[in-house]
Amino acid sequence: MATPLTAGLLAHRLDLGVFAGLGAMHATMNDRDESIGLRTARIGTAVLASALGMLIGTALQHAHADATTLGTALTATAFASGVLSATGPRGSAAGMLLLVSAALGSGMPLPQLWWAAAPMMLAGAAFVFVLGLRPTSDPRTRALAAAYEALARMLADLGTPQGAASRQVLTARLNQVQDLMTKQETDPRYAAVLAATEAATGLLWALRPVPPEVADVPARLARAVEDDSTEVTVPDWRPDTPARQALDVALRAAADTVAGRDTALGTAPAPPPDPWHLRARLLSRGSVRYGLRVALCIAIGQAVSANYQLSKSYWLPMTIAFVLKPDLGSVFLRAVSRSVGTVLGVALTAIVVGVTTNEWILTAVAALCVALLPYATAAHYGLNTVVITPMALVLIQLGGQSSAAEFWPRVLDTALASAIVLLFGYLLWPERPRHRIEPRLIEATTTLKSYLDATTGHGDQSQVWLRRTAYRSLADARHEVQQGLAEPPPTGRLAEQWLPATAALERLGGAVAAYAAQIRYGGRVPDPAEVDRVRRALDDLTTAARNHRPPTGATPRPTKPHDPTRSALGRAADELEVLLTK
């Protein structure tokens, strides 16, 4: 961000440098360590939406649009932003920046050529893109090595209370590898770690540890993946149960695959799904619902701005766009955190501007704030606001629009925007589990049934991919539950009621993996009665989710290793039936 601002200072065109810096920041916010194709799509979609929003906003300001026209245009933009935001991760980033930039463009000082603001944002984004073209190792290789490392950690934690948390980390690492691939790509090393993960998940469910030298094999595979040279040998440890034998076979296949030898992995060659698939289609019920929420809040915010003549009318819709975001966590906590963070950020900015208004120093301050954003965002949303508020205010200062005395009204604007979101975007449209958690649980139960059918059917090789899909769906459901737990009642209470079902489904995935090992290596013949019991339980859980009735049965977590002579699926059926007991 410092480079465009510095170029603007040297060329005596700071007005253009500010917009180029803004485009650079929006590109950096959406930059990831990805292949060039995925990186182009992610940054391009976000910045094109941001530039379009800026063009809309600057055109309205240049045309001296009255309050009614401005409010109508921003409300329509807000609806489009909300609909786009509900379609998936890439649409979410693009939708938010569309609205944020439209709000900024309607109020920020225009350059001499008003239409130049949007092109300068694209120029700043292009600069960020070029910076990321430096030679580097393949991000997919690093992500794959991280997945093997996470598998090693889970194997080391088998039979301990940390096992479930390690499995969640492994799921996240596998998601990352999957997201770095396109539809046309299939890496046999990824298929190998999926097969090993399936076997390890069965052992995790059975509470059966493995020798340390075996648990360390995936860590050595991770180093081999990164070095592309090391040969990994799996120790002869004589596995004594079907689940352990499944792990032994999977680790040996992974070692052969990493070494570049052709290996029959027993998995279908189907590629992973496209990570950018739409979660909800445009103009579907969910996306329209969210678009209406955002549009209502923006319309009310614009009405307040028009009637009370706020000094910076764009601050209100910009804050609403940031707070009312579907995938950034609890709306309630974000509203509170943003208000507190803005107070601290304004205080810091007032101190800096009170000491100096030198443009070079302020440019350095803006660059420092942006450099701190990744760390602040990872720590807490409120800390993110503490950092981003001085950056925004310094840009306004560099644009010659504000003085230190005008910063404090931003606190009032932020509190007002948060109140609008809480009242009209939260209380009137409660984000209860029926809107977020339950659809994810229904998707998870559906994929688990497909995984079960593949396991107990006629050796369908796609079962590993189905398990991967099921665990990704379960990870999404758990994420929604965790977000719901941060909300005040009744949302938090309802999310808490769905937590046992989410945990039970995760354990069911491990039970099916263990059952697959019993069939493959233990000679067990699938029992249709047991399969039907689990299928009925999953159907009952799906019905409960559709009817918004969380199950109330108590399901204590098993504390003893599973007896390999007993059916893993039978124990899973017992647990599900207890969960669904009224």
Q: What is the pLDDT of residues 301-344, one digit of tens each?
A: 989 888 877 666 778 888 888 888 756 666 777 778 888 888 88
pLDDT at 291 > cutoff 70: yes
Closest CA to 103 of 522, 528, 353, 417: 417
DSSP structure string for 44-103:
HHHHHHHHHHHHHHHHHHHTT--HHHHHHHHHHHHHHHHHHHTT-HHHHHHHHHHHHHHH
Same domain, 298 and 400: yes
For residues 451-477, average pLDDT: 77
pLDDT of 146 reads 94
Whether 307 and 417 share a structural domain: yes
User: 337: domain range?
Assistant: 2-135+278-427
- Are residue 283 and residue 357 in the same domain, yes or no? yes
pLDDT of amino acid 214? 95
CA distance 127 to 1: 10
Return the higher-pLDDT residue of 432 and 533: 533
Query: Are residues 417 and 316 both part of a single domain?
Result: yes
pLDDT at 268: 45
Task: Give a yes or no: residue 272 inside a domain.
Answer: no
Q: Calculate what percentage of the chain has a pLDDT beyond 90.
A: 31
This prediction has a pTM of 0.78
Chosen domain end from 400, 427, 454:
427
Tokens of 106: 């309607």
Last residue of a domain, one of 379, 411, 427: 427
User: Is the pLDDT score of 2 beyond 50?
Assistant: yes
Check whether residue 156 and residue 241 sit in a common domain.
Answer: yes
Residues 94 and 210 in one domain: no
Tell me, yes or no, whether 265 lies in a domain: no
Q: Residue 98: what pLDDT?
A: 95
pLDDT, position 151: 96
Quick one: pLDDT at residue 103? 92
Q: Which of 21-25, 336-340, 380-384, 574-578 has the highest mean pLDDT?
A: 21-25
* pLDDT, tens digit (0-9, with 9 covering 90-100), for 226-282: 887 678 899 998 898 999 999 999 999 999 999 888 776 555 444 444 444 444 466
Predicted confidence (pLDDT) per residue in 355-375, tens digit = 888 889 989 998 899 889 888
Taking the CB of residue 184, how many other CB atoms lie within 10 A of it?
7
Q: How many domains does the chain have?
A: 3
Domain boundary among 393, 412, 427: 427
Of 118-132, 488-502, 527-541, least confident by mean pLDDT is 488-502
Q: Which of 335, 331, 502 is nearest to 432 (CA)?
A: 331
The answer to whether position 263 is within a domain reads no
Among 6-20, 401-415, 560-574, which stretch is predicted with the lowest mean pLDDT?
401-415
Note whether residue 521 is domain-resident. Answer: yes
Gap between the terminal Cα atoms of the chain: 58
Q: Is the pLDDT of residue 79 over 80?
A: yes
Same domain, 130 and 147: no
- Do 124 and 150 fall into the same domain? no
List, for residues 173-183, the tens digit of each pLDDT value. Answer: 998 888 887 65
Are 565 and 492 found together in one domain?
Answer: yes
Q: By mean pLDDT, which of 32-41, 148-157, 328-337 is the weakest?
A: 328-337
Task: Please tell me which of 404-418, 442-456, 550-564 the model is most confident about, judged by mean pLDDT.
Answer: 442-456
In a domain, 271, yes or no: no
On whether both 97 and 130 belong to a single domain, the answer is yes
Does residue 433 have a pLDDT over 60?
Answer: no
How far apart (Å, rounded) are the C-alpha atoms in residues 150 and 148?
Answer: 5
131 shares a domain with 153: no
d(CA 398, CA 391): 10
Average pLDDT of span 93-109: 91
Helical H runs in 380-420? Answer: 381-398, 409-420
Q: Are residues 390 and 297 in the same domain?
A: yes
